Structure 1
Amino acid sequence: MQKNIILICLLLLVFKSSYCQVDRKDRYNVGFKYFKATDNSRNYIIGHDTVNRPMLIHFWYPSQNNPELKCMSFKDYIDLIAIREDFEREQQDIDKISNNFVNAYLGFSKQQFGIDTSITTEEVLNSPVKAILNAKPIDNKFSLIIYAPSNSKSAVQNHIMCEYLASNGYCVVSVGSAGHESLKRYDQRKATVAQVRDMEFSVKYISDSLKLDFSNIGLFGFSTGGMATIIYQMQNPEVKAVASLDGSHEYGLYSVLNKIEKFTIDKADTPYLMIANKYKDFSIFPYYSSISTEDKHLYQMTAIGHNGFISYWQQFAMCGKNSKANNTTESYTVLCKSLTSFFNDKLKSGNKDSKEFEIQNNKLIQKNGTDYNIAAQLLNRIIQDGVDNSMSWLKSNKVLFKGKANMINVVGKMYLGNQNDIAIKIFTANTEIHPASWEAFYNLARAYKESKQINAAKSEITKARNINNENEDIQKLYDEIINAE
């Protein structure tokens, strides 16, 4: 029995040590540092207290090889989430917060992604990551990449991706997403501006002490973090490439992006990569479709939704003996490789203006070659000229929109729930241009229901049923409307 225990311990040590070392496909070991800083120019509210804005800066980098150094545990990363607003938090409180955090995410992953159900929270927290804390950096100038996390989240949400970039010869800096005066992002416009300032603060902070190539910067953001990368690029000419992981600016928050003072579409002249979630007819990708640069690339994942763009699921899967290879964890690997390939092409290759970049289509990622330009024109007109003028333009150019009922529906759904009056006008115009489209009447009924106009909703859903009386979604909405009478 004792021999078995010793053997297991040795195997664990070998696994932990080997995971820290450079993989055969990696070029570098990975180091990690974090810096506790405050932005004294901005106030920040924590509970009932107003303090200077806390800035917990995360930094990944290529490091020198030192076999005697041990890699970090996943808990070392997760603990940083607990202290991002309170650098002096007690260790017992940190442990509790970290345990609860992983427990919640682990439970979700077991239900959704086929992660080994026997994995414990403790095993996840103690599992190794690739980075080595405070490892000695390689004495060389590497291009800097800035990561903008999603809604109020820490950069740890994509630690594997940041490590992967560092192992391929990049330095990655990030600071957690927050609102303009607290952790919560109550106002997305103000929060985006605040996140841009956070990015600029973190770059300034490390530029004072680290040897980096600040003339050749790459950006990537996830979800709402994508909006911050767009504004940052427009203000900083040293940015040479921008990548978006299912960025919110390609969905309903595009109109919010347009309201930010620093937003100028003519300045969007940098190579751009957008990787979207698996859902079809979910977006017209208005930012991608509106920018003038020809060096732009649109791809869609085929197996993951929005929450598949984070690293936790892959970290959990590495802990389990019975975790089966699945599309979620494999998709994340594809994301890491695709992002790195894009930055290699734009930041490292000799021909920075090359439009030859391409991700090879496979079962998990596909190039989206759909032309959304006419739908993007419609949305931009609504934002700039108002919905009434835009609907007049739409009807006078209905020949251009024939057969594009789904695209008009997507434009309308960008306002559904928040500005139902605009959504109703868009969907109404769509029913006039496409009277045989049940989806047009279905979405108009949804908009009327959302705005509590039940009689109008009943009328439109009845028209949808008359066109397609076998559709389950139509019947479900019909029942909801009848029950709301």
Structure 2
Amino acid sequence: MMKILPVSILLLFLAGCSGKKNPKTEVYTAGFKTMQTQDKSRLYKPGTDTTDYLHFRPLDIDIWYPAHHPSATDSSLLFRNILGLLEQRANYYTASNAGNGLTQQVAQYFCDGFKCSDTLKVLNFKTQSFKNATPVAAKFPLVVYLSAYNGMSYENFTLFETLAKKGFVVVSISSIGRFPGDMTMKKEDLWEQINDAVASTIALKSSTNIDFTKIGIIGYSWGGLAGSILATKIPNVACVVSLDGSEFNRYGQQKEENADFDGIRYSEDFKNRRISAPYLRLESSTLEPDEKVDSVYNFSEKLTGEQQIIKIDAAQHEDFSCLPFVVKTSGNCKSDKQYHTISTSTINFLEKHLKNGKSF
């Protein structure tokens, strides 16, 4: 049965449970590492042979994981270190210098967009991610995250850090389409991100700290659509979280975008898929002033298991990323509470279905 709840009811429920003490759970350090490999079942750069390093589909897998507490000589990464991956990969995936300067440009874009902080403060924001920290020798549930349209893993790194501290391994899949890597709304590019996620889980099979019998999926925006499809492509998916995902498509005035979504919606790969895993959708509650919606595709027809949709009061689409929080915190600006609500709800839902938690 579909449950659609206002966030005020959710918060009352959480407050009512706050007096119940759960057994103390261990808190870990958030380790961070990247893994570079290839998916040799797919070609990436057209017109090349195996002598070209971009002939096969490249994969950069970003992983947050439970780690031992750092030593006195260890230090956490700065945001510039994580954001800088965008610049490095833009060059790598295009075999050019197209990414040069992107780190600085993107940081400035964030500051201008949120009207807070400055580039230096944002780039020097101290994360809680410790690069290549010693992993804890135990098995933990896996969370696969799919980034938003043309997004990268940095868009929600604070959420990943919290999950790692609570005993989850998080694998973040960037939104990279066909060569030269730009995501579009064509089904062929969407499936590249989905197949990147499938290939990443295969590449990690030898990992000794992942329990592959317990998998959760999170997708943000366009990644919400990709994540919903991924849930039918890999085994042992215990739950799905959509952060204002595009699977509930809003048909508006952009005819080409409408046609692109229909190309996905009516494709054989999409039409026959059903999701039986518990599904949580957290969605924004406001439309942009110039946004006109003719109709909304009801993705609920694909859901056969437990379903909940929660509308976050006064939340806009960008509030489902940690970037507003990072920029405003770095600049000592007033930060909205929406992201805290979104991340807490997401974590509690994952703990419920992957760890038998009681908080959600």
Q: Does 1:242 pair with 2:240? A: yes
Task: Note if 1:349 corresponds to 2:359.
Answer: no
Q: Does 1:59 align with 2:71?
A: no
Give distance in 2, aligned partners of 1:187 and 1:320: 34
2:35 partner letter: F
Is 1:312 the counterpart of 2:323? The answer is yes
Q: Would you say 1:180 and 2:190 are equivalent positions?
A: no
Q: Deviations over 1:392-430 (max 9, x none)?
A: xxxxxxxxxxxxxxxxxxxxxxxxxxxxxxxxxxxxxxx
Q: State the shift of 1:202 in Å.
A: 1.0
2:270 to 252, 263, 268: 263
Give TM-score, length-normalised by structure 1. 0.60
Residue deviations 1:263-322 (CA, integer Å, cap 9, x gap): 3556311100011111279675611255232x111001122221221111111122123x
In structure 2, list runs of 5 or more residues that go unmatched.
1-23, 251-257
1:33 paired with 2:40, answer: no
Q: Is the 8 A contact 2:84 2:103 kept in 1?
A: yes
Q: Which residue does 1:44 correspond to in 2? A: 44
TM-score where L is the length of structure 2? 0.79
1:131 equivalent in structure 2: 129
More displaced stretch, 79-88 vs 191-200 = 79-88
Q: Distance in 2 between matches of 1:87 and 1:348?
A: 38
Contact 1:30/1:163 (8 A) holds in 2: yes
2:13 matched residue in structure 1: none
Structure 1 residues 85-143: Cα deviation after superposition (integer angstroms, max 9, x where no partner)? 444999x9977221111011111111xxxx3xxx3211211120011000001111000
Does 2:140 correspond to 1:142?
yes
Report the AA paired with residue 66 of structure 2. Answer: P
* Structure with greater strand share of residues: 2
1:201-256 alpha-carbon deviations (Å, 9 max, x no partner): 11111222443101110001011111221221112231110110111011237644
Aligned to 1:339: 346
Change (3 A) 1:346 1:257: farther
Amino acid at match of 2:276: D
Helix, strand or coil at the partner of 1:82: helix
CA contact (8 A) 2:139 2:208 kept: no
Instruction: State whether residues 214 and 236 of structure 2, in contact with CA within 8 Å, keep that contact through their aligned partners in structure 1.
Output: yes
Give the match's secondary structure for 2:204. helix
Partner of 2:312: 301
1:285 and 1:347 map into 2 onto residues whose CA distance is 29
Task: Note the alpha carbon deviations across 1:312-367, whole angstroms, 9 max, x for none.
Answer: 1111122123x123x3xx211111110000011111118xxxxx985xxxxxxxxx
1:73 alignment partner, one of 55, 69, 78: 78
Could you tell me which amino acid in structure 2 is paired with residue 320 of structure 1? G
Percent identical: 25
Whole-angstrom CA distance in 2 between matches of 1:257 and 1:93? 30
Tell me the secondary structure at the aligned position of residue 169 of structure 2: strand
Query: CA RMSD, aligned part only?
Result: 3.0
- Structure 1 match to 2:88: 83
Contact 1:227–1:257 under 8 Å retained in 2: no
Over 6 Å off, 4+ runs? 92-95, 280-283
The 8 Å contact of residues 73 and 126 in structure 1, kept in 2 or not, is answered as yes
| Residue 89 to residue 137, structure 1, CA distance change in 2 (3 Å) | farther
Task: Report which structure shows greater RCO (CA 8 Å, sep ≥6).
Answer: 2
Q: Is the 8 A contact 1:61 1:172 kept in 2?
A: yes
What code does the residue aligned with 1:291 have? L
Alignment partners' CA distance in 2, 1:238 and 1:335 = 25
In structure 1, give the amino acid aligned to 2:158. I
Letter paired with 1:178: I
C-alpha distance 338-256 of structure 1, shift in aligned 2 (>3 A): farther
- Please list, as runs of the form range in 1=range in 2, the aligned pairs for 1:353-432 lying within 5 A after superposition: 358=360
Q: Which residue of 2 aligns with 1:157?
A: 155
SS of corresponding position for 1:177 = coil
CA 1:197–1:32 in structure 2 vs 1: closer, same or farther (change >3 Å)?
A: same
- Stretch of structure 1 that moved more, 178-187 or 128-137: 178-187
Q: Secondary structure at 2:197's aligned position in 1?
A: helix
* Residues 445-464 of structure 1: per-residue CA shift (max 9 Å, x gap): xxxxxxxxxxxxxxxxxxxx
3-state SS of the aligned residue for 1:340? helix
Which secondary structure does the structure 2 equivalent of 1:220 belong to?
Answer: strand
CA contact (8 A) 2:118 2:331 kept: no
Q: Is the 8 A contact 1:153 1:176 kept in 2?
A: yes
Cα drift, residue 175 of structure 1? 2.4
**How far did 1:74 drift?**
0.3
Query: How far apart, CA to CA, are the structure 2 residues paired with 1:212 and 1:77?
Result: 23
Query: SS of the residue aligned with 2:44?
Result: strand
Moved more, 183-192 or 53-62: 183-192
Q: CA deviation at 1:257?
A: 4.0
Which residue number in structure 1 is paired with residue 113 of structure 2? 108
Give the match for residue 101 of structure 2: 96
Contact 2:273–2:302 (CA<8 Å) still a contact in 1? Answer: no
* 1:324 corresponds to which of 328, 334, 338: 334
2:280·2:308 contact (CA, 8 Å) conserved in 1?
yes
